[in-house]
Amino acid sequence: MIVDIHTHVFDSAAHFGPELNADLARCGVDPGIWGNVEERHLETTAAADVAVVFGLQASATGWNIPNDRVAAHVARAPHRLLFFVSVDPLQPGYMEELEKYHRDYGAAGVKLAPLYQNVHPQDKRYYALYQYCQKHGLPILFHTGTSFVGGTPLDYSRPVHFDAVAVDFPDLHMVLAHLGHPWEGETIAVIRRHENVYADISALYYRPWQFYNAMQLLVEYKAQHKALFGSDFPFTTTEDSLRNIRALNAVAPGLPGVPAEVIEEIIHRDTLRLLNLPNPLKK
């Protein structure tokens, strides 16, 4: 079974605020290139058996993708999509929002992004969320590593901050997205110390030399069993991610490659079981 642990849906015209549009313009990105994200999402995620889907609530950087919109999207293919709720600690009532979407909309996990939300990973507002998630067995997928967004401290995205969180919440399942690029080594140091902390390898293949080195490092530290497949759609697609991850050794001909069986193990990782997620195929 293939699980894509990292996919987004949004309507950029309706859900992106001025801060986000300014960041995209600064980087020369036209959100129009992603087309109709929701329709394309249903097509691309068919390349996996199950996909985890989220929006993002981050008022500090202009992201306002309503959770009911994401839940409605998941309801279009409930036999293969899993809904993760995103809540913004800068908004009053964020705990109630989490509880509501967990209780009434079947959220199977939570998406947080300290860099986008302008909140340090060890902030007490997050700690209230961690407590709830640990108690109810909800995994949290964190954006870690760099991003095109500005105006907030990059330090909030450092993988090492999640080491202290894992010490305080040993039973909380966490996924550090993008192997924390460009701090892949730091991410590997964290995931190998904590039984319930994982990393996804989404959005990395388009820096092929760095990706190749990160995957070698993962194997050298014997931490490959903590890596999960993800795409980061719509910034790439599920199909392109699978194809390019399988081709990762092509950038380094003549050098030792990451073994094909390691790559296939990551792609076919039993992510649902590891993160305590329900299997929508059995609905």
Toward Zn ion, which CB reaches closer, 88 or 232? 232
Handedness of CA 75, 77, 80, 81 (dihedral sign): negative
Near Zn ion by CB under 5 A: residue from 63, 232, 269, 274 = 232
Look up residue 121 and give its amino acid: P
- Angle of helix 260-267 relative to helix 238-246, nearest 10 degrees? 160
**To the nearest whole angstrom, how small is the minimum distance from the Cβ of residue 110 to Zn ion?**
14
Residue 123 Cα to chain centre, angstroms: 20
Toward Zn ion, which CB reaches closer, 149 or 165? 149
**To the nearest whole angstrom, how small is the minimum distance from the Cβ of residue 86 to Zn ion?**
11
Per CB under 5 A, which of residues 237..276 are in contact with Zn ion? none
Gap between the Cα atoms of 117 and 89, Å rounded: 8
Select from 95-103, 167-175, 232-240, 275-283 the region that touches Zn ion (CB under 5 A). 232-240
Residue nearest to Zn ion (CB): 232
Query: Alpha helices, DSSP H only, in 114-270?
Result: 114-117, 124-136, 161-168, 184-191, 208-220, 238-246, 260-267
Gap between the Cα atoms of 229 and 95, Å rounded: 29
**To the nearest whole angstrom, how small is the minimum distance from the Cβ of residue 161 to Zn ion?**
18
Select from 20-28, 83-91, 204-212, 230-238 the region that touches Zn ion (CB under 5 A). 230-238
Toward Zn ion, which CB reaches closer, 112 or 172? 112
Gap between the Cα atoms of 186 and 188, Å rounded: 5
Q: Both tokens of residue 27?
A: 């980087």
Indicate the Cα dihedral angle 262, 224, 54, 246, nearest 10°: -20
Toward Zn ion, which CB reaches closer, 186 or 200? 200
Toward Zn ion, which CB reaches closer, 52 or 166? 52
**To the nearest whole angstrom, how small is the minimum distance from the Cβ of residue 34 to Zn ion?**
13
**To the nearest whole angstrom, how small is the minimum distance from the Cβ of residue 113 to Zn ion?**
8
Toward Zn ion, which CB reaches closer, 19 or 232? 232
Cα dist from 78 to 20, 57, 283, whole Å? 30, 22, 8
**To the nearest whole angstrom, how small is the minimum distance from the Cβ of residue 256 to Zn ion?**
30
Site for Zn ion (CB under 5 A): how many residues? 1
4 binds Zn ion (CB under 5 A): no
**To the nearest whole angstrom, how small is the minimum distance from the Cβ of residue 135 to Zn ion?**
26
CB 263 within 8 A of CB 245: yes
Select from 10-18, 20-28, 163-171, 231-239 the region that touches Zn ion (CB under 5 A). 231-239
Name the residues that contact Zn ion, by CB under 5 A.
Answer: 232
